[in-house]
Amino acid sequence: MSELGQLSGLPLALTFQAFTDIGFWTGVGVIAGTYALVALGLQLNVGFTGIVNFGQAGFMAVGAYTMAILVLKVGFSFWLALPAAVLAAMAFGLIVGLPSLRLRADYFAIATLAMAEIVRLTAQNARGLTGGNQGIFCEGASCYDDSWNSVSGTITGWLEGLGWSDPETLFPLLLVVWTTAALAAVLLHLAQGSPWGRVLRAIREDEDAARALGKNTLLYKLQSLAISALLGALAGFFVALNLATLHPKDFEPPGHVHRLRRAHTWWIGQLLGGGRGCDPDVDGSRSHAVRRAADLGRT
Amino acid sequence: MEAGTAAPSPRAGGVARVAQLGRRHPAAAALLVLAIAVVAMVAARSLHDVAQTGLNGLSLGSVYALGAVGLTLVYGTLRLVNFAHGDFLTFGVYMAYLVNVTWEAPLALGIVSAMAMTALLGVLFERTLWGPMRARRAGFLQLILISIGLAFVIRSGVQYVWGTEVRLLNVNVVDSVELLGLRIGQTELVVIVIGFAVLIATGLMLRYSLLGKRMRALADNFELAETAGIDTSRVVLHTWVLAGGLAGLAGVLAGAVTNVKPELGLELLLPIFAAVILGGIGDAFGALAGGMVLGLMIEWSTLFIEARWKVAVGFVVLILVLVVRPQGIFGRARAI
C-alpha cells in the first residue's frame, strides 16, 4: 500500500490496524445507524410520497437542540425532553410543510433547503440559547447526556455479565441506534402496505388522480413530512449522544446531502433488490398512474 | 424584507390601484415599493446610513445577479435545477487565483481566464453529462441528484488541488474612495462597475440580439421554439457558455471582495436561488433584478437587525416569495 502511495505521489498513510479495531467499527456502526434513520425518513418522503425533502438536516437540528435546551436551560428530565423534542420537530415539519407543500417539486426542494439553512444559522447565531459556534453540551456540573450515560453504564454492566470483559463505551449506543432503526424500518414497511401507504404511492404517481378520488393530498403529504421529521429528530438525538456536544456544523447541508445520497443509494438498492417501489421518475408515466389510482379506488 | 413590509396600505382604494399597477407593470410596481421602502428607511435611520449600506448591497447584488442569470436560463431551457452552479463560481475564482496569484498576472487576465474556463466547464458537462442524460429521458429528481453529485466532484477537485485553506486574490483591500461623503473600498467599487457593465451588456444581449431572443424563446417553451425552427442544441450550448462565463465572473467578484475558499460557491448558492425565485424562475431579466433587490435587502436589513443574521434574511425572503408569489415579483400569474 505504501509503495502505491509513493508511486502515485499521494500521501497515503494507510494502516490496517484501525480496521481490526472493534472500537472503530462500533463508531462506524453508530454513524451508520444514525444515517439509516435519516434515510428512512427520506425514503418515506422522496421514495413513497414523491416529495423532494432537502431539509432533513433541519429536522435533526431542531430535535437535537430542543432536547439539549430543554434539559440544560429549562430543567426538563432527559426522558421528558425526548418526546417533547420529537413533538417540536414534528410541529416544525408541519409549519414548514403547510405553506411549502403546495409548491411544485423543484420549488419545494429549494424551500426545504432554505429552511434547513435558517435552522442552522439560528443555531449559529442565537448564542444565548444554543451556544453558537461554541456548541452546547454542559451547564455547570450537569450535561444533557447525563441520564443516557447512566443507562449506558447499566447496559455495559449487562454486557460484562455476559462475559465481555471490557465492552466498548459506544457499544450500548450502537445497540439502541440499530434497535430504533430496525423498528422504524419494520413500521415503515407495514405502513407502506397499509391503505395509508397506498394513498402516499398514489400521490407520488399522480397527485391529481389521487385528489380526483377524493383524497386530501396535502394532509397526507403533511403526515409524511411530520413522520420524516420524527425520524430526523431521533437521528438528531443519536448525533447528540454520539458526539456529546452539539455544533451548528453537524447540521450543515453538505453533510445532509451526503445523507441524502446515502438515502438514494439505499433506495435504489431496495428497488434493485425487488422492492415494490416503481419507476423513481417523478414525472411518472400516465398508464402507471391510472393503474395505481385504480388500485387506490379498491381500498 | 423591507420592500415587502413597507408596502402602503392606507386605503383600500390605494391598495387596489397599486395591485392593478402591479398586474400591468410589475417592474414599475416593484420599483415603486422599493422607493417607498427607501424613503421609510431614510426616515427611520439616516440618508447616509441607507446610502452606505445600499452601496454594499449593490456589490453583493451584482454577484447574486450574475450568478442568478445563468442559473435561471439553465433552468428555463433544460428544466434543470443545477445545484452545481455554486461550484461553478468556486471553479471560476480558483481559475482567477491561478492566473492572478500563482502566475502573478493582472486581475483582468484572471477574470478572462475564469470566465473562459468556467464556460468551457459548462460546455464540457453539457456534452458529457447533461446531453446524454436528456437523451435517456432522465427525470427531474435524477437530474437534481446528478447536479448535487457534480457539485461535490467540482468542490472536491478544487480542494484536491488547492487545499481547504482560505486564500486572497492579489487585490487592493486597504484603500478606499470617498464618494459624496460615502466610503467604499477600491476593490468593491471595481466590482460594482464590472458587475453592472456585464449585467447591462447581458440584459441588452438577451433583449436585442437574435441569440438572446432564442435563449428566451427556449426558456419560455422548448418545444414551440424547436417547432419554430430554432437549432435548440446550439442554443443550449450557448446558454451553458453564458451561464458558465457569468458564474465564473461572479465567483471572481465575490472572491475579490471577500476571500477564496472551496465553500465560496456553496455559500452563495442559496442566495442565488433566492434571487432566481424572486425574479421568477426561468426569467432572465427577473433574475437580474432579483439579485440586485436581494443584495440591497440583505445589506439594508443590517440597519435594523444584527449583521450576523443578514444571511438568514435572504432565506426568509425566499420562503416568503415562494408562499406569497411563487411566480416571482415580475412573473405573470400562473399556477405553480
Burial of A126 (0-12, 13-18, 19+ CB in 10 A): middle
**Cβ-contact B37, B304 below 8 angstroms:** no
Q: What per-residue confidence (pLDDT) applies to B329?
A: 62
DSSP-derived 3-state class of residue B336: coil
Instruction: Find the mean pLDDT for residues A205-223.
Output: 91
State how far the Cα of A236 lies from the Cα of A241, in Å rounded to an integer: 9
Q: What per-residue confidence (pLDDT) applies to B123?
A: 94
Instruction: Find the mean pLDDT for residues A193-222.
Output: 91
**Which chain A residue has the Cα nearest residue B314?**
A114
| Residues B180, B292, B331: CA angle, nearest 5 degrees | 145
Contact yes or no for A125 and B312 at CB 8 A = yes
A179 confidence band (pLDDT: 50, 70, 90): very high
**Cβ-contact A233, A89 below 8 angstroms:** yes
State how far the Cα of A203 lies from the Cα of A51, in Å rounded to an integer: 9
- Residues of chain A with Cβ-Cβ distance to B80 below 8 Å are none
State how far the Cα of A149 lies from the Cα of A140, in Å rounded to an integer: 17
Q: How far B150 CA lies from chain A's nearest CA (Å)?
A: 12
A-B C-beta contacts closer than 8 Å: 80
Burial of A67 (0-12, 13-18, 19+ CB in 10 A): buried
Instruction: Find the mean pLDDT for residues A30-44.
Output: 89
Sign of the dihedral defined by the CA atoms of residues A85, A90, A96, A99, in that order = negative
State how far the Cα of A118 lies from the Cα of B318, in Å rounded to an integer: 11
pLDDT surpassing 90 at residue A231: yes
| CB nearest to B270's CB, from A117, A254, A281 | A117
The total of other beta-carbon atoms located within 10 Å of residue B209's CB is 11
CA-nearest of B107, B113, B103, B110 to B172 is B107
Q: Give the model confidence (pLDDT) of A239-255 as tens digits.
A: 888 887 777 777 765 44
**One-character DSSP codes across A48-114:** II------HHHHHHHHHHHHHHIIIII---HHHHHHHHHHHHHHHHHHHHHHHTTS-HHHHHHHHHH
Q: What per-residue confidence (pLDDT) applies to A257?
A: 43
Q: What per-residue confidence (pLDDT) applies to A88?
A: 95
Contact yes or no for B273 and A110 at CB 8 A = yes
- Residues of chain A with Cβ-Cβ distance to B323 below 8 Å are 99-100
Instruction: Find the mean pLDDT for residues A154-166.
Output: 84
The total of other beta-carbon atoms located within 10 Å of residue B201's CB is 10
Residues (pLDDT < 70) of chain B are: 1-27, 29, 326-336
**Which chain A residue has the Cα nearest residue B308?**
A125
Contact yes or no for A118 and B315 at CB 8 A = yes
Measured between CB atoms, does B315 come within 8 Å of chain A?
yes
Contact yes or no for B141 and A100 at CB 8 A = no
A265 confidence band (pLDDT: 50, 70, 90): very low
Q: What per-residue confidence (pLDDT) applies to A262?
A: 44
**Which chain A residue has the Cα nearest residue B306?**
A125
Lookup result for grid cell 400562473: B334
Q: What per-residue confidence (pLDDT) applies to A264?
A: 43
DSSP-derived 3-state class of residue B142: helix
Instruction: Find the mean pLDDT for residues A122-140.
Output: 80
C-alpha cell at B36: 417607498
| CB nearest to A103's CB, from B81, B315, B326 | B326
Eight-class DSSP state of B185:
E
**Cβ-contact B284, B206 below 8 angstroms:** yes
Strand pairing report for B176-179 and A142-143: unpaired
- Residues of chain B with Cβ-Cβ distance to A106 below 8 Å are 81, 140, 144, 281
A294 confidence band (pLDDT: 50, 70, 90): very low
Q: What per-residue confidence (pLDDT) applies to B49?
A: 82
Instruction: For this complex, say whether ipTM is above 0.90.
Output: no
**Cβ-contact B85, B243 below 8 angstroms:** yes
Lookup result for grid cell 434543470: B80
- Residues of chain A with Cβ-Cβ distance to B280 below 8 Å are none
Measured between CB atoms, does B21 come within 8 Å of chain A?
no
- The CA distances from residue A232 to A37, A179, A197, A264, B24, in Å, are 7, 16, 19, 16, 45
Q: What per-residue confidence (pLDDT) applies to B331?
A: 58
Could you tell me where the beta strands, DSSP code E, fall in chain B?
A: 176-179, 182-185
State how far the Cα of B332 lies from the Cα of B293, in Å rounded to an integer: 19
Q: Give the model confidence (pLDDT) of B191-244 as tens digits.
A: 889 988 998 898 888 889 988 888 888 877 888 888 888 888 888 999 999 999
Q: Give the model confidence (pLDDT) of A275-284 as tens digits.
A: 333 333 333 3
Q: Give the model confidence (pLDDT) of B45-64 as tens digits.
A: 788 888 888 888 999 999 99
A272 confidence band (pLDDT: 50, 70, 90): very low
CA-nearest of B317, B307, B296, B314 to B38 is B296
- Contacts of residues A239-243 at CB distance under 8 Å and 24 or more positions apart, as own/partner, are A239/A34, A239/A60, A239/A64, A240/A64, A240/A67, A240/A68, A240/A144, A240/A145, A241/A145, A241/A148, A241/A173, A242/A30, A242/A31, A242/A34, A242/A170, A242/A173
Instruction: Find the mean pLDDT for residues A83-97.
Output: 94
Instruction: Spell out the residues 6+ positions from residue B95 whose beta carbon is closer than 8 angstroms to its own.
Output: B110, B113, B114, B117, B118, B248
- Residues of chain B with Cβ-Cβ distance to A257 below 8 Å are 148, 152
Q: What per-residue confidence (pLDDT) applies to A279?
A: 33
Instruction: Find the mean pLDDT for residues A179-184.
Output: 93
Contact yes or no for B140 and A254 at CB 8 A = no
Percentage of residues in chain B having pLDDT higher than 70: 88
Tell me the backbone φ, ψ of residue A206, rounded to 5 degrees: -160, 100
pLDDT surpassing 70 at residue A263: no
C-alpha cell at B335: 399556477
Q: How far A94 CA lies from chain B's nearest CA (Å)?
A: 15
Q: What per-residue confidence (pLDDT) applies to A261?
A: 44
**Which chain B residue has the Cα nearest residue A261?**
B145
Q: Give the model confidence (pLDDT) of A7-28 as tens digits.
A: 444 444 556 666 677 878 888 8
| Continuous segment of H or E residues that includes residue A139 | strand A138-139
- Contacts of residues A187-194 at CB distance under 8 Å and 24 or more positions apart, as own/partner, are A188/A40, A188/A43, A188/A44, A192/A48, A192/A276
pLDDT surpassing 70 at residue A124: yes
Contact yes or no for B336 and A260 at CB 8 A = no
Mean pLDDT of chain B: 83
A115 confidence band (pLDDT: 50, 70, 90): confident
Q: How far B319 CA lies from chain A's nearest CA (Å)?
A: 6
Q: Give the model confidence (pLDDT) of B197-207 as tens digits.
A: 998 898 888 88
